[in-house]
Amino acid sequence: MRYVAVCGSPLLKFNDSQNVVRSLEMEGVNLTCGLLHGRDIQFDPQAPENHCNVLVKILAFSSNYRDKSIILRAATYLSQQNFYAFGSDFVAEVLAVGPKVEGLQPGDRVINNNQYPNSGIEGVMPGVTTNHSSKELQIFHQVKLLKIPNSISDEVAAGFSIGAQTSYSMLRKLKVQPGENILVTAAKSNTSLFVINALKHRGVNVYATSTSRKFEDKLLAMGVKQLIQIDPSQEDWLQIPELIQVYRETGGIDCIVDPFFDLHIGRLLPLLRQGEGGRYVTCGLYEQYSTYTGHHFNYQGMALKDVMLFAMINNVQLIGNCVGKTADLQQAIDDCTQGKFTVAVDSVFSGNQIREFIDRTYNSRKRFGKVIFKY
Ligand SMILES: NC(=O)c1ccc[n+]([C@@H]2O[C@H](COP(=O)([O-])OP(=O)(O)OC[C@H]3O[C@@H](n4cnc5c(N)ncnc54)[C@H](OP(=O)(O)O)[C@@H]3O)[C@@H](O)[C@H]2O)c1
């Protein structure tokens, strides 16, 4: 079976005729990555520990922002003889099932079900199904998988799960109502592209912030009413004329959806409607890997005390979100099948294109959507 992995370097062990090994840079850190071959795993369906388990073959996978810190840590700490297979989303074919597995059979296509905070089965970990989604053969408890219909292509399915489950969960918690004004930050992050796509059929006004105007036409076509450019190095974003105008026009934003709270909350929270009803939800932070790069992150904006004071005085709800429920993912799959929800796929790589795949996923400012690696 195959893996796409960060390798300990120098790659004396891995650099043979079968394996493909490439070097590249990420955030100033040198990486050695490879498409590696290893022995197939064995699966005995009759073994008691496999009664509820499923053997799958990964058809295609993708990586998320969260994997970046894992990759950088591996690049920094791995010994020469080791490798770390990465990736967190996938689409796979079911090869075999244990006798107690229900609703799945060989030949079905499945994606990761990252239900959190409970997996639904005692002893089975909640959250992401795997941090090694590039490992071609894997065994999972059936609760960690969800069947996906044939109408959803491998390219879309391989980048679907974490973004769809998280965005649908955030919008469920916000209880978004038709006619409301929603501000989505970091518009071109994958998470925000999922959110924007999920808002398209909800009858709301979507405003978005981004560090550049690149792909403005695409964002407007996805239903964004106005794209506002922000400068991350500028302290006071409330002086940006377009943001002042949006605040005046709307009387205050109803909901902010923010994948990077440490970039945005202290500079955008006062745009929320004051008095009552404003909601802010976040699913993540920007500063996840400075330990491995040595680049210092400088928080800007209101201090925690002022954030909480603003929330308290204005009855604002501050909502945290970590992935979502099975029902969120199923709803996204159903909406996708019915043409009400789409996934932005940037590009698809395969074969020896290891460097191209990782470079496009993490280094390219031209990326617009998920980057997929297909076996
Ligand atoms: N807890 C959960 O369940 C969960 C699930 C999914 C995601 N997340 C979190 O959501 C966040 C986004 O993940 P993702 O995979 O969607 O990320 P991503 O696609 O890699 O985000 C890249 C985008 O971030 C923005 N950005 C990058 N550098 C920036 C800077 N210096 N200043 C301002 N903006 C910058 C840019 O947006 P623009 O080009 O628009 O400026 C860029 O396009 C992460 O924190 C991740 O951990 C959490």
Lowest mean pLDDT among 105-109, 216-220, 234-238, 243-247: 234-238
What does the pLDDT read at residue 8?
82
Whole-number percent of the chain with pLDDT over 70 = 98
Same domain, 32 and 174: no
Specify if 336 maps to a domain: no
- Band of the pLDDT at 208, cuts 50, 70, 90? very high
What does the pLDDT read at residue 159?
98
191 C-alpha to ligand 1 centroid (Å): 7
- Band of the pLDDT at 10, cuts 50, 70, 90? low
Same domain, 75 and 130: yes
Nearest-angstrom CA–CA distance, 191 and 64: 9
Question: Would you say the CB of residue 210 lies under 6 angstroms from ligand 1?
Answer: yes
Same domain, 307 and 249: yes
249 C-alpha to ligand 1 centroid (Å): 28
| pLDDT tens by residue, 70-121 | 999 999 888 877 899 999 999 999 999 999 999 999 999 999 999 999 999 9
Q: Provide the number of structural domains found in the chain.
A: 2
Same domain, 9 and 75: yes
Specify if 92 maps to a domain: yes
Same domain, 154 and 289: no
Atom 31 (ligand 1) nearest CA: 232
What does the pLDDT read at residue 40?
95
The mean predicted confidence, pLDDT, of the chain is 95
Same domain, 225 and 111: no
Section 115-130 average pLDDT = 96
Specify if 166 maps to a domain: yes
Section 206-214 average pLDDT = 97
Same domain, 136 and 204: no
- Band of the pLDDT at 19, cuts 50, 70, 90? confident
Task: For a ligand 1 pocket test, name from 89, 173, 188, 189 the mutation site with the most ligand atoms within 8 angstroms of its C-beta.
Answer: 189
Atom 46 (ligand 1) nearest CA: 284
Same domain, 181 and 268: yes
Question: Would you say the CB of residue 191 lies under 6 angstroms from ligand 1?
Answer: yes
Task: Report whether pLDDT(12) > 60.
Answer: no
Same domain, 308 and 348: no
Element holding 242 (H helix, E strand): helix 241-250
Same domain, 93 and 218: no
Q: CATH number, domain at 93? A: 3.90.180.10
Same domain, 293 and 201: yes
Specify if 352 maps to a domain: yes
275 C-alpha to ligand 1 centroid (Å): 30
| pLDDT tens by residue, 335-368 | 999 999 999 999 999 999 999 999 999 999 999 9
What does the pLDDT read at residue 52?
98
Question: Would you say the CB of residue 283 lies under 6 angstroms from ligand 1?
Answer: yes
Task: Point out the ligand 1 atom lying closest to the alpha carbon of residue 169.
Answer: 3
Section 17-45 average pLDDT = 91
Nearest-angstrom CA–CA distance, 248 and 242: 10
Specify if 338 maps to a domain: no
Specify if 332 maps to a domain: no
Same domain, 174 and 152: no
Specify if 295 maps to a domain: yes
Question: Would you say the CB of residue 190 lies under 6 angstroms from ligand 1?
Answer: yes
Range of the domain at 10: 2-160+344-374
Task: Point out the ligand 1 atom lying closest to the alpha carbon of residue 321.
Answer: 1
Question: Would you say the CB of residue 273 lies under 6 angstroms from ligand 1?
Answer: no
- Dihedral sign for Cα 265, 266, 272, 278, please: positive
Please give the single-letter amino acid code of residue 36: L
Q: CATH number, domain at 282? A: 3.40.50.720
- Band of the pLDDT at 11, cuts 50, 70, 90? low
Task: For a ligand 1 pocket test, name from 260, 261, 287, 323 the mutation site with the most ligand atoms within 8 angstroms of its C-beta.
Answer: 260
Specify if 304 maps to a domain: yes
